[in-house]
Structure 1
Amino acid sequence: MSTYQIHPIVMGTKVFDKSMMTYQYGTGCPYTIPIYCWYLEGGDKKVLVDTGEMGPIRSEDRERAIGGRIYTFEEGLAKWGLKPEDIDVVIHTHLHNDHCENDFKCVNAKIYVHQKELETIHNPHPLDYRYNEEFILEVEENGQIEVITEDGEILPGIRVMHTPAHTEGGLSILIDTPSGTAVITGFCIIMENLEPPKQIKAMEMEVIPPGTHVNVYQAYDIVKQIKSMGDILLPLHEPAFASRETI
């Protein structure tokens, strides 16, 4: 049985209203989120979950807000002795641009994407401006994309689950670690979505749906389900991981 250490690497940030993460909560509060590339160390393959931004904005203010350093793709991989061409597998939570801008650098990687996500990036709704097919055209033309249609194991100790909360083809990643099952959420949330403050719980809400979602009722149920599935929960944009080398 393969187990993994998970290394969160900040490869971008966004500054916006907190309610973009937490539906109907935190409106009017400026908030900075880290954009992660997650290196899964273990087994015989070099595995990433998402690839982050190609040209991240780097400033003292943003690094102070998230509590950690912002890296370029090459710098972040070099921390772990890797180069983009060393990557064997990329698994995408979804294909919004900030999660896939460095795919083209991973010239030797198989890139796993849910079928619905691939369909959407080529024909996005006007409201979903975060999709840009230019970031995946090269790897698609090279035959690197592996289309996922069902939940299942990608590699020993790494499984994917279709969780269409934030996007139609969102995939949550379940990873065997020495401390139990870790779940990288396939939707853009922070820890408060999973552990709401008392004023939210007082409304009999166990979780907060993502601020941007496909269907808010379905999203609530998916977030609640994922919360119950992991010994270690890794919300996709939680700032607390920016200062962590390893989970």
Structure 2
Amino acid sequence: MTDPAHSNATADTPDVRPIPEFAGVHEIWPRGDRLKAVRTAAERYRERFAAQGQVRAIKSFDIAAAPYPARFAFQGYSVNANPMISIINRMFVIQFDGFDGLLKTLVWEPTVAAGSAEAPFYNKLQAFARGMRAERLFVKYYNDPDKILPSLGLRNEDVDYVSFDHLHVQDVRMIMGSDKPIEGEAAPREPLFPNAKLLVHRKELGTFESMHPMQWAWYVERGMDGVPPERLEAFDGDVELGVGVSLLWTPGHTDGNHSLVVNTPDGIWVSSENGMAADSWQPELSKIPGVRQQAAFYGREVVLNGNTLEDSLDQYDSMVKEKTMASPSPRDPKWLQIIPSSECAPWKRQWPVVPTHSHGGLDYGTITSTARHGA
């Protein structure tokens, strides 16, 4: 492992390596100098990361569409008639060579919709939508996370890691299991992926210990209660998981927000919920009314997903970090390969707040059974 004296990252497992290029950049002051340092560090790391190799396979799957206030999606810049839009949650299955030489499987964003509905914001919104008989206009279910791997010929027992960019609207008990029953249930929950550990930033875990009122509406109350500590792998800063896959600390949306970065035959892809569409990272190309004009007026190169704004300056810097890492798309080189983990739906009924460009899903390589864990 890299000498901790030269890195801002630590982890609970030797299989996860800190990324020294980003050491100390989030402490630089004043803020303009910090942004420059973040961009420069991302440029340096991008070169080294690209040379390390590619993931074995990555495939994405739509999980569910959920309602979302249009004013949050593009920082209030968009001009729209509809107050609500829908966003589509994605799950990724990634296989890569670990630093121990073994094939690893990571499941990124396996959202359980029933748990998300219990977050205070969505609980209140769902009750309102049912009262108006409008829920079906915004909600759609595509896949259950625990059914996806068997469809690929892989067992849920074969998953090594689970991770989310942050834990908004996640009932972790429904994913990682709990040693005591969830309210209203008779027995403790079994984990969806029995042998997996949750890779989670230490600051994100800390939020559950003492939540600020500005954070409360987006986290599931008691969503971590009874989750066995041995199911968690906490880390700090930026970390590499193996060949072609890293988790970059991208604070701002939440304190412990982190973004998935993978290297593929088409170059580097980044996934996060810092933005709601490709427009968010490249507003100069946006056709959504107001987005390009407002970004230009304020001299800003990114447009935030603005539901929380825990630290908008940090989130801005994090999105610059993401776009600096991403490769241009070979299908349309003017667009960077950034794919939101929750993306603004392209539905005509929420026009004009629809993505100017969507990369669709990711599909590289072949998912194979690791067959390391017992049946």
Aligned to 1:40: 94
Question: How many Å separate the matches in 1 of 2:237 and 2:324?
Answer: 21
| Kept in 2: contact 1:36–1:236 (CA 8 A) | yes
Q: Find the structure with the greater CA-based Rg.
A: 2
For each residue in 1:157-182, what CA deviation from the matched residue of structure 2 results, as whole angstroms up to 9, or x when unmatched? 21111111210000112112111111
What is the aligned residue count? 241
Mapped pair 1:207 → 2:259: no
Note if contact 2:57-2:363 (Cα within 8 Å) is conserved in structure 1.
Answer: yes
Q: Does 1:130 align with 2:218?
A: yes
Aligned to 2:175: 102
TM-score between both structures, scaled by the size of structure 2: 0.57
Structure 2 unaligned segments of length 5 or more: list them.
1-52, 98-102, 118-134, 178-191, 287-291, 328-336, 347-357, 365-375
Cα distance, 1:138 vs structure 2: 4.2
Contact 1:54/1:102 (8 A) holds in 2:
no
Please name the residue that 1:86 is paired with: 158
Structure 2 residue aligned with 1:236, among 335, 341, 346? 341
SS in 2 for 1:228: helix
Q: Structure 1 residue 188: deviation in Å?
A: 5.1
Q: 1:206 to 1:242 in 2, by over 3 A?
A: closer
Residue 214 of structure 2 aligns to a residue whose secondary structure is: coil
Rounded Cα–Cα distance in structure 2 between residues aligned with 1:61 and 1:210:
19
* 8 Å Cα contact 1:10/1:76 also seen in 2: no
* Pair 1:16–1:192, CA change in 2 (3 A): same
1:211 alignment partner AA:
G
CA distance in 2, matches of 1:200, 1:222: 20
Q: Within 5 Å, give how 1:181-192 maps onto structure 2.
A: 181-185=268-272, 187=274, 189-192=276-279
Counterpart of 2:71, as a letter, is S
Q: Contact conserved, 2:64 with 2:143, CA < 8 A, in 1?
A: yes
User: For residue 349 of structure 2, what is the aligned residue in structure 1?
Assistant: none
Change (3 A) 1:115 1:14: same
Output one character per residue of 1:44-85: Cα deviation in whole Å (capped at 9) or x when no partner.
Answer: 11211122124389968645xxxxx61112233333233433
Are the aligned partners of 1:93 and 1:187 in contact in 2 as well (CA < 8 Å)? no
The whole-number CA distance in structure 1 between the counterparts of 2:94 and 2:144 is 18
1:243 deviation in Å?
5.6
Letter in 1 for 2:91: C
TM-score by length of 1: 0.84
* Cα distance between partner residues in 1 of 2:304 and 2:148: 30
**What does the per-residue CA deviation read over 1:210-230, in whole Å, with 9 as the maximum and x for residues that have no partner?**
212222223222212311211
Which of 237-246 and 33-42 deviates more? 237-246
Shift of 1:112: 0.7
CA distance in 2, matches of 1:7, 1:59: 28
**Alignment CA distance shift 1:245-1:154 (3 Å):** closer
Assess, with a 3 A threshold, how the Cα gap between structure 1 residues 112 and 191 changes in structure 2: closer, same or farther.
Answer: same
3-state secondary structure, aligned to 1:202 = helix
Larger helix percent: 2
Distance 1:171 1:46, change over 3 A: same
Code of the residue aligned with 1:151 in structure 2: it is D
Q: Which has the higher strand share?
A: 1
In structure 2, distance between residues paired with 1:242 and 1:61: 22
Cα pair 2:273 2:342 within 8 Å, conserved = no
Alpha-carbon spacing, 1:174–1:210, altered in 2? closer, same or farther (3 Å): same
% identical aligned pairs = 22
Which consecutive unaligned segments of at least 5 residues does structure 1 have?
64-68
Counterpart selection for 2:315 from 219, 230, 233: 219
Alignment of 1:163-182 (within 5 A): 163-182=250-269
**Aligned equivalent of 1:66:** none
Q: Is the 8 A contact 1:158 1:174 kept in 2?
A: yes
Distance 1:52 1:12, change over 3 A: same
